[in-house]
Amino acid sequence: MSNEPREMPQTDEEWRELLTDEEYRILREKGTEPKFSSDLIDYEGEGTFTCAGCGTELFDSDTKFGSGTGWPSFYDAKEGAVEFEEDRSHGMVRTEVLCANCGGHLGHVFDDGPNPTGQRFCINGAALDVEE
């Protein structure tokens, strides 16, 4: 895969053809994968984490850390790669993290992460690909 984002699907049908059922449920329907289900939780390689929907570079591997929460976690995102939206679902108020390019739901960000940012981007592994 190149570092360039893929051509953006224009319809729901095109998204369904591009993504697996799980990727579609998470990225397009704002779903959440089960805790500790992603192989990326224990990923320790060097590389860049990209959006599984459009290929946009989102996180560098050197910002990944073990949060113990059950999802891949990062303390920072690439500049301009993500957007934030208030999420009031499930009786909570959280900050949702979206891919700035395709609008895909990635996960949430919390203010309980490590230095230097103090943030914890709690991201669904199914919403990510890794370029090594």
Query: Domain for residue 63, yes or no?
Result: yes
3-state helix, strand, coil in the chain (%, to 5): 20, 30, 50
Query: Domain for residue 7, yes or no?
Result: no
Query: Domain for residue 31, yes or no?
Result: yes
Q: Tens place of pLDDT for every residue, the chain, 132 residues?
A: 344 556 789 899 999 999 999 999 999 999 999 999 999 999 999 999 999 999 999 999 999 999 999 999 999 999 999 999 999 998 999 999 999 999 999 999 999 999 999 999 999 999 999 999
Residue 6: the pLDDT is 66
How many separate domains does the chain show? 1
Query: Domain for residue 5, yes or no?
Result: no
CATH code: domain of residue 37: 2.170.150.20
List C-alpha distances in Å: 103 to 20, 96, 100, 117, 121.
17, 11, 6, 23, 16
Q: How many Å apart are CA 61 and CA 79, to the nearest integer?
A: 15
Residue 1: the pLDDT is 39
Query: Domain for residue 74, yes or no?
Result: yes
Run of H or E including 73: strand 73-74
Residue 38: the pLDDT is 97
Query: What residues make up the domain containing 94?
Result: 12-131
Residue 5: the pLDDT is 55
Q: Quote the Cα angle for 7-87-24, to 5°.
A: 35
Query: Domain for residue 1, yes or no?
Result: no
Query: Domain for residue 39, yes or no?
Result: yes
Q: Is 122 a catalytic residue?
A: yes
